[in-house]
Copies of this chain bind each other. A is one copy, B any other.
Amino acid sequence: MTDSGLRRELQDLPRTDPAVDQLVEEIIGRVADKWTMLLIEILTERECCRFGELAKACTGISQKMLTQTLRAMERDGLVTRTVYPVVPPKVEYRLTELGLGLSKAFCGVWLWAEANFETIDRARQDYTARQEAGQV
């Protein structure tokens, strides 16, 4: 209750509904996911993608995960899914305005990661070294 109040204050957003806080946290949990972030990036670059293209671009993802993640994104209104009734099937995905907004928000995180990966790598090495020194 107190912390929530503080957070609101910091962000100049006067709101205090705990249900809203919970929903917001749930959304963050849903959206702050490796595959979601990757897909959003890919869809930001080439704005319209078929399933197969996404599968290729999103290295390492399984078909199942791809379907699952895309469905969740569709449900949350981040992407549109257009089915062309042809054979073989053709389905196109593209970001919505909402998805584009999230893409921009994520941009900061990507930039942070790209700017700091060396620092993090060094921190990890230091940590491991300290661990090993402690073991002796």
| A residues at B contact (CB < 8 Å) | 3, 6-7, 10-11, 13, 15, 20, 23-25, 27-29, 31-34, 37-38, 41-42, 44-46, 57, 74-77, 98, 101-102, 104-114, 116-117, 119-124, 126-127
Q: A42-B3, A57-B3, A123-B77 are in contact. Are A114 and B37 (CB under 8 A)?
A: no
Q: A112-B102, A119-B77, A127-B74 are in contact. Are A32 and B25 (CB under 8 A)?
A: no
How far apart are the CA atoms of A53 and B104 in the complex, in Å?
A: 33
Whether A108 lies near B113 (C-beta < 8 A) is: no
Whether A124 lies near B75 (C-beta < 8 A) is: yes
The quantity of this chain's copies bound in the complex is 2
Which residues in B have their C-beta under 8 angstroms from that of A57?
Answer: 3
Whether B109 lies near A45 (C-beta < 8 A) is: no
How far apart are the CA atoms of A112 and B13 in the complex, in Å?
A: 12
How far apart are the CA atoms of A46 and B7 in the complex, in Å?
A: 10
Whether B77 lies near A120 (C-beta < 8 A) is: yes
Whether B45 lies near A6 (C-beta < 8 A) is: yes
Q: Which of B7, B38, B102 contacts A45 (CB 8 A)?
A: B7
22 pairs, A vs B, C-beta closer than 8 Å: A3-B45, A10-B45, A20-B117, A24-B114, A25-B38, A27-B117, A28-B37, A28-B109, A28-B113, A32-B32, A32-B33, A32-B34, A32-B37, A74-B127, A76-B120, A77-B120, A77-B126, A98-B116, A98-B119, A101-B112, A102-B109, A105-B108
